[in-house]
Amino acid sequence: MNPNTELYFMQKKNQHNFILIQSFRERDFVQQVTQKNLKKILVKVIGTPVFNTIAPCPCKNDDTEPFSKMFYAIGEHMRRDVSQMKYIHQAHPLGRQAHPLGRQAQPLGRQAHPLGRQAHPLGRQAQPLGRQAQPLGRQAQPLGRQAHPLGRQAHPLGRQAQPLGRQAHPLGRQAHPLGRQAHPLGRQAQPLGRQAHPLGRQAHPLGRQAHPLGRQAQPLGRQAHPLGRQAHPLGRQAQPLGRQAQPLGRQAHPLGRQAHPLGRQAQPLGRQAQPLGRQAQPIRMTFPPQKGFITDKYSSVSSAVQVAGLR
C-alpha cells in the first residue's frame, strides 16, 4: 500500500453504528494499533462496501508482519489518496466521537482548545469569554448600573477580568508602554523627564525661570497660559473646556477619570503617564514678547488656542 494512504480504523458497535477510533497513515499504523490494543477494525473507502469480515488484530509487540498481511488481505484496491477517503455516518470529521484526533486531542476540545479555559492567554480570571468577564454579564454589561459604556463597573470585560484591567491589561500600570515604571519615557529615564530633559525646568527656553516673559507673563505659565485656569478667555465657569461645563469634563467625558476603561491609575491619558502632560506637552509658544502683553493677551490666547487645535 501507499505509505501516504490514510486509513480510518473504526470499531463496530452494532450493525449500523461504527465509532472511529484512530486515523493514521500506513507507515504509522503498526505502532498505533499496538498502543491502542484494538481487537477489531473496519475500513471503508469510497466505492467499496463495508466489509462484512472483521479482521482480527494480532497485537504482538515483537512480530509486526501479521499487520501488513492483514491489510493486504483486506483489499489491494484501497490504495487511494487521502482526499478520496470519507467517513461513515457516525464518523463525521467534526463529530465528537468521530474526530480523527479523538475527544482528548481534537483542536476544538475542552482541554486542548487554544481558547480553552486553561490555555487562554489571559487565564481563567482574565479571559474575555469567562463567566465573570462575559460582555453580556449582569455586572459587566455595557448598559449596566452606571450606564457608562466605558465605565469601571459597566465595562464589558468587568473589573476583575477585563483585559484592560489594572492587573491584566497589557497597557496597565506596570506593563503599559506609557506607564510610570514601564514607560520608555519613565520618570527617571524619560528624555522628556524633569531632570533628564534637555529642555528642563531650568534650561528650557520656555521654562518658568528662564522664560523670556518671566513667571507671570510667560505664555505657557500657570497664570498667563492661553489655556490656563485664570487666563482662559472663557473663564473658569464659562469656558467650554471648564471642569463642570466642558463636554470632556470629569463627569461627562467618556474617557473621564471614573469612566475611563483604564481607570484612574492606568489610563494612558492620566496625569502622570500622559505623554502630553504638563511637563512634556508639545505645545510651545514661540512668539516674541510684546509690549502690553497683558492687554493683548486675548489675541495671543486666541492664536494659541488655534495652534492647539481647540478652535
Mean pLDDT of 43-65: 40
- With 50 as the cut, is the pLDDT of residue 102 above it? no
What is the rounded distance in angstroms from the CA atom of residue 66 to the CA atom of residue 71? 9
Q: 288 falls in which pLDDT band (50, 70, 90)?
A: low
- With 50 as the cut, is the pLDDT of residue 149 above it? no
pLDDT digits (tens, 9 = 90+) for 248-277: 444 444 444 444 444 444 444 445 445 444
What is the rounded distance in angstroms from the CA atom of residue 145 to the CA atom of residue 166? 21
Give residue for cell 487645535.
309
Report pLDDT for 25.
46
What is the rounded distance in angstroms from the CA atom of residue 295 to the CA atom of residue 105? 79
Mean pLDDT of 6-21: 45
Report pLDDT for 184.
42
- With 50 as the cut, is the pLDDT of residue 109 above it? no
Report pLDDT for 169.
43
- With 50 as the cut, is the pLDDT of residue 170 above it? no
Mean pLDDT of 111-123: 43
What is the rounded distance in angstroms from the CA atom of residue 307 to the CA atom of residue 304? 5
What is the rounded distance in angstroms from the CA atom of residue 299 to the CA atom of residue 70? 97
What is the rounded distance in angstroms from the CA atom of residue 154 to the CA atom of residue 137? 10
Report pLDDT for 287.
53
The C-alpha cell at 168 is 491584566
% pLDDT > 90, the chain: 0
Report pLDDT for 77.
36
Report pLDDT for 222.
45
Report pLDDT for 290.
53
- Contact between 8 and 18 (Cβ < 8 Å): no
Instruction: Choose the weakest-confidence range: 4-8, 83-87, 99-103.
Output: 83-87
DSSP bridge pairs for 56? 40
Instruction: Choose the weakest-confidence range: 63-77, 80-94, 180-194.
Output: 80-94
DSSP bridge pairs for 85? none
Mean pLDDT of 206-215: 44
Q: 8 falls in which pLDDT band (50, 70, 90)?
A: very low
- With 50 as the cut, is the pLDDT of residue 122 above it? no
Mean pLDDT of 30-41: 43
What is the rounded distance in angstroms from the CA atom of residue 251 to the CA atom of residue 234? 20
- With 50 as the cut, is the pLDDT of residue 305 above it? no
What is the rounded distance in angstroms from the CA atom of residue 33 to the CA atom of residue 123? 37
Nearest to 78 by CA among 22, 25, 20, 36: 25
